[in-house]
Amino acid sequence: MTEIVVEARDVVLSFGPTPALRGADLSVGAGEILAIMGPSGSGKSTLLHCLAGILVPDSGEVHFDGRRIDNLGETERSGLRRDRFGFVFQFGQLVPELTAEENVALPLLLNGVRRAKALEQARPWFARLGLDGLEGRRSGELSGGQAQRVALARGLVARPRVLFADEPTGALDTLTSEQVMDLLVDSAREQGTTVVLVTHEPRVAAYADREVIVRDGKAHALTAEAIS
Ligand X SMILES: Nc1ncnc2c1ncn2[C@@H]1O[C@H](COP(=O)(O)OP(=O)(O)OP(=O)(O)O)[C@@H](O)[C@H]1O
The answer to whether residue 42 forms part of the interface with ligand X (CB under 6 A) is: yes
Neighbours of 227 (CB within 10 A): 13
Partner that binds at residue 42, options Mg ion, ligand X, none, CB closer than 5 to 8 Å by kind: ligand X
Near Mg ion by CB under 5 A: residue from 5, 42, 45, 90: 45
Near ligand X by CB under 6 A: residue from 56, 200, 215, 216: 200
What is the secondary structure of 76-142 as a DSSP string? Answer: HHHHHHHHHEEEE-TT----TTSBHHHHHHHHHHHTT--HHHHHHHHTHHHHHTT-TT-TT-BGGGS
Find the part of the chain contacting ligand X (CB under 6 A) among 36-44, 66-74, 94-102, 173-181: 36-44
Distance of CA 3 to the CA centre of its chain: 19
Which residues, at least 6 apart from 18, have a Cβ–Cβ distance to it below 8 Å?
Answer: none
Of 157 and 180, which CB lies nearer to ligand X in the complex structure?
180
The answer to whether residue 223 forms part of the interface with ligand X (CB under 6 A) is: no
Find the part of the chain contacting ligand X (CB under 6 A) among 12-20, 62-70, 152-160, 185-193: 12-20
Chain residues binding ligand X by CB under 6 A are: 15, 18, 20, 38, 40-46, 200
